[in-house]
Amino acid sequence: MKITVIILQAVLLIAASPFISGFIKKLKNHIRMRKGAPLLQPYHNIVKLFGKDETISKDSSYIFRIAPYVLITTAVAAALLSPSFFPSFQISGTGDIFIIIFIFALGRFFTALAGLDTGSTFGGMGSSREMFISALAEPAFLVSVFAASLAAGNTGISSLLPGGVFKISLVCSGLAFYLVLLAETARVPVDNQETHLELTMIHEAMILEYSGKSLALIELAGHIKQLVLLSLLVYIFIPVGSGTGFYIIKIVAVAAVTAIIEVALAKMRLFRVVDYLIFSFVLSLAAVTAFIMGV
């Protein structure tokens, strides 16, 4: 029974995840006074890509072929482990919140290798930058979760779920986590999902050589990762209300904020991202300090 609910929950999350991306895109276009693509466009894209033939580079090896599968597996595994629609149903015995961070790292490792595998300069550049940003994002990522776990007294996901009460420490760590979330999901001001301009793309450069079903898998994995991170954010750092209804409302609200940020800000220069991520790290350390002071 329990296992069915957990799988159902993960399937729901996977099914809903492209919608969030579509929603952000639609909202951005509304703010820009454009009509924009329909809300369900990400679903159409995935279906379209699954229906297409695939072209791969002659220089590439099996790493290029298995990377999308590894990436989607890590995203789905993270979806299985993280709380979403029915937060009281959890797989027990698979560790804690840190595991989810490490699992995402596994997917990234293979995508970065795939970027290098085709021998294209873009791929290499994308891999290099992606690993650069993720290496710098990691400290803030872990310490913000660390701060929240200190308050909860454990790093286990189920003990983090109640979310505590609004305190300065929680706000600081939540903000730090959100900044990392923007970096990890390739959003403005760190990266831009909408562009394929050679000099600015990071995540897109890495997967430039993909087509057909592989690209579909990578895109789907991106949507899932985004929703998993959003779920963690709203459950751990926004302790308002409980139940599935509140969960959906909170997710949509955070997605709306993300859309506004994407419209309002410009993408940063690569080496400005260092400052951005260090700021996030300092914020998470401040959260720990605030927690110790009891505020």
Residue 6 or 252: the one with the smaller Cβ distance to another protein is 6
Q: d(Cα 183, Cα 108) in Å, to the nearest integer? A: 13
Among 181, 186, 208, 228, binds another protein (CB under 8 A): 208
Q: d(Cα 212, Cα 273) in Å, to the nearest integer? A: 32
Residue 84 binds to another protein (criterion: CB under 8 A): no
Residue 94 or 195: the one with the smaller Cβ distance to another protein is 94
Residue 37 or 96: the one with the smaller Cβ distance to another protein is 96
Q: Which amino acid is at 85?
A: F
Interface with another protein (CB under 8 A), residue total: 89
Q: d(Cα 231, Cα 250) in Å, to the nearest integer? A: 9
Residue 59 or 194: the one with the smaller Cβ distance to another protein is 59
CB-based contact 245:38 (threshold 8 Å) = no
Contact range with another protein by CB under 8 A, out of 23-31, 136-144, 225-233, 237-245: 136-144
Among 69, 195, 241, 269, binds another protein (CB under 8 A): 69
**Nearest alpha carbon to residue 139 among 284, 287, 290:** 284
Q: d(Cα 229, Cα 187) in Å, to the nearest integer? A: 13
Among 15, 44, 61, 240, binds another protein (CB under 8 A): 61
Site mask for another protein (CB under 8 A), range 211-230, x = bound: -xx---x-------------
Among 30, 54, 243, 246, binds another protein (CB under 8 A): 54
Among 88, 121, 195, 244, binds another protein (CB under 8 A): 121
Compute CA 265 distance to the chain's CA centroid, rounded to the nearest angstrom: 19
CB-based contact 107:71 (threshold 8 Å) = yes
C-alpha distances in angstroms, 62 versus 26, 67, 89? 37, 8, 37
Among 52, 197, 241, 264, binds another protein (CB under 8 A): 52
Compute CA 155 distance to the chain's CA centroid, rounded to the nearest angstrom: 20
Residue 186 binds to another protein (criterion: CB under 8 A): no
CB-based contact 237:90 (threshold 8 Å) = no
Using the structure block, give the residue that is written with the tokens 């027990």.
Answer: 92
Least gap, CB of 1 to another protein (angstroms) = 18
CB-based contact 239:166 (threshold 8 Å) = yes
Among 13, 24, 136, 259, binds another protein (CB under 8 A): 136
Q: d(Cα 146, Cα 126) in Å, to the nearest integer? A: 29
Residue 180 binds to another protein (criterion: CB under 8 A): no
Compute CA 227 distance to the chain's CA centroid, rounded to the nearest angstrom: 7
Least gap, CB of 132 to another protein (angstroms) = 4
Contact positions with another protein (CB under 8 A) in 156-175: 156-159
Residue 69 or 166: the one with the smaller Cβ distance to another protein is 69
Least gap, CB of 26 to another protein (angstroms) = 27
